[in-house]
Amino acid sequence: MSLAEVLTTFVLVSLLFGLMAGIAREVNSILRHSEGSDAGQQVVQNALARIRAESQQATALIAPSGTGVVNELTFDRIAPTTARLPQPAFPAPPSWEPQAAADTVRVRFFLNGSELHRQVVPGPANSQRVASSLSGFTARRLANGNLELVFSVLEENRVVARRAEIFRLVRTGP
């Protein structure tokens, strides 16, 4: 192999490595950006799935009570383990209420630092962590009766607010 061949090979291989390194750097940058965004969205998705599934069971919305924005979500729902519907159904009690106070629990979602917590009354004394890495949580009752939740999450050194509207199926209470 002549000196010219060695130099040409060296230059070509250097160019190839440089090109590959450039592409890898760009891809890494894009992936890091999208992963940061994905992680933020995942936090919101998890919290939203949990709150949606439970708040749609709400028989009465305690907070927000009006159309104002509040930093928590509190509602009553029928306790899943209650024996409100006896089996067998008969003999039946003399009177029966579908949403009797004795059959309901009060659920509260609130922000504790950067963590979203859930507290059930009556229930365990300690609240349960639902999500972390949140920088804000607000709830608002919309004019159509639905619920609007806004989660703020830190993504790539900036706070991004994500909004979700929750349809309320049970509309018999406040």
CA distance readout (Å), 4 to 1, 9, 11, 12, 13: 8, 9, 11, 12, 14
The conformation of residue 92, written as its DSSP 8-state character, comes to P
The answer to the question of residue 98 lying near other proteins (CB under 8 A) is: yes
The answer to the question of residue 83 lying near other proteins (CB under 8 A) is: no
With vertex at residue 110, the alpha carbon angle to CA 39 and CA 126, rounded to the nearest 5 degrees, is 105
Nearest-approach distance from CB 41 to other proteins, in angstroms: 10
With vertex at residue 95, the alpha carbon angle to CA 89 and CA 99, rounded to the nearest 5 degrees, is 85
- Tokens describing residue 139: 């709830």
Q: Which helix (H) or strand (E) holds 39?
A: helix 3-55
The answer to the question of residue 174 lying near other proteins (CB under 8 A) is: no
Nearer to other proteins, 77 or 140 (CB): 77
Binding mask 19-58 for other proteins (x = CB under 8 A): -x---x--x----------x-------------xx--xx-
Binding site for other proteins (CB under 8 A): 1, 9, 13, 16, 20, 24, 27, 38, 52-53, 56-57, 59, 78, 80, 85, 89-90, 92-99, 167, 169-172
